[in-house]
Amino acid sequence: MQQAVSLFFQADIRRRCIPSPGHPATDLADVIRRRGTIYLLGREDPYASASPLMTAVAEHVLDTGLLLANSSPWGGRLCPPLVSVLDELPSTAPLPTLRTRMANERALGLSFIWAAQTRPQLTSIFGEHEARALLGLTNTLVMFGGSKDVAFNQEISDLLGQVRIGRRTHRGSGGGYEGDDIAIMRPEEVRQLPERQALVIAENGKPIIAKLHRCVEGKAGERLLADQRALRERLTNDRRMVITPEARATAALVEARRLGFVDDENDHTRSDL
């Protein structure tokens, strides 16, 4: 929590987060009712992690959605549903209540989409049993290639099951047909899934290999990239107005000299401070 509080060391960040007459607090219930979108952006940082704060805010948003569902005129269900997209779940906002919410609140109109880079990430944050429960409660699994977790690749291969392949045999006295059971996908094939393809396992349906395309392709992608470049240029220009640490240190030294805390000749601080 101390790391989360350190995010508010800068005065301008504190002002943005404190309600004022011209800057009221965000009404989360009103945003959800108007089908708005709430964005939480952050990253795992060993020195100033936003994860505890983002987790608390995400829990508050979900609790607000649950209260709205319980008072909903549509039979205690949010309509349209509230979809929570939890990207980089283990490192950004590892919700301790996620398993319970996935089990109980989907029937109330609260849906969840979560993503993690590796299976060990889930285990390190939630523990083995909790991570396995999250996977079990997930209706649709989407896996990309590149996984180096041999045990998990084997688990996915076992989950896909086997298929019987028939073959004709020839013997001296005649021929016949035999069948062999082989894995639908071997563990190494799970790892070797090519780019722009994903393995999709949906409930009790048959697995499929889905072909993907990037959001930055095509005309819509060109517009997205152009908007990204424009935003980066604007942020770069804004950062030029930020006072550098060197400038802050110089200003502090000048002020200390003015107050008599620094000896101008030897540039040392006074010993009686």
> Can you give the residue range of the structural domain that contains 112?
1-138
Question: In this structure, are 159 and 124 located in the same domain?
Answer: no
Question: In this structure, are 60 and 95 located in the same domain?
Answer: yes
Other CB atoms within 10 A of residue 44 CB? 13
d(Cα 232, Cα 261) in Å, to the nearest integer?
42
Among 138, 154, 189, give the residue marking a domain's end.
Answer: 138
Condensed to tens digits (0 to 9), the pLDDT of residues 70-108 reads 998 888 899 889 999 999 999 888 999 999 999 999 889
Question: In this structure, are 17 and 132 located in the same domain?
Answer: yes
Question: In this structure, are 114 and 189 located in the same domain?
Answer: no
What is the maximum alpha-carbon separation in the chain?
111
**19 assigned to some structural domain:** yes
The residues, ordered by sequence, that sit 6+ positions from 144 with a Cβ below 8 Å of its Cβ are 193, 198, 199
Whole-number pLDDT of residue 7: 60
Whole-number pLDDT of residue 267: 52
Q: Provide Rg for the chain, Cα atoms.
A: 28
Whole-number pLDDT of residue 181: 85
Question: In this structure, are 125 and 163 located in the same domain?
Answer: no
> Which residues of the chain carry a pLDDT beneath 50?
1-3, 269-273
**130 assigned to some structural domain:** yes
Question: In this structure, are 104 and 173 located in the same domain?
Answer: no
Question: In this structure, are 157 and 108 located in the same domain?
Answer: no
pLDDT above 90 coverage of the chain, percent? 52
Question: In this structure, are 157 and 200 located in the same domain?
Answer: yes
Whole-number pLDDT of residue 209: 96
CA distances 49 to 89, 120, 125, Å, are 14, 20, 15
Question: In this structure, are 189 and 127 located in the same domain?
Answer: no
* Signed CA dihedral, 267, 271, 272, 273: sign only: positive
Tell me how many domains the chain contains: 2
Pairing of strands 140-143, 82-86: unpaired
Burial of 235 (0-12, 13-18, 19+ CB in 10 A): exposed
Question: In this structure, are 15 and 129 located in the same domain?
Answer: yes
Question: In this structure, are 149 and 134 located in the same domain?
Answer: no
3-state secondary structure the chain: CHHHHHHHCCHHHHHHHCCECCECCCCHHHHHHCCCCCCCCCCCCCCCCCHHHHHHHHHHHHHHHHHHHHCCCCCCCCCCCEEEEECCHHHHCCCCCHHHHHHHCHHHCEEEEECCCCHHHHHHHHCHHHHHHHHHHCCEEEECCCCCCHHHHHHHHHHHCEEEEEEEEEECCEEEEEEEEEECCCHHHHHCCCCCEEEEEECCCCCEEEECCCCCCHHHHHHHHHHHHHHHHHHHHHHCCCCCHHHHHHHHHHHHHHCCCECCCCCCECCCC
Among 87, 121, 138, give the residue marking a domain's end.
Answer: 138
Question: In this structure, are 111 and 169 located in the same domain?
Answer: no
Whole-number pLDDT of residue 269: 47
Among 103, 138, 173, give the residue marking a domain's end.
Answer: 138
The residues facing 164 across adjacent strands are 181
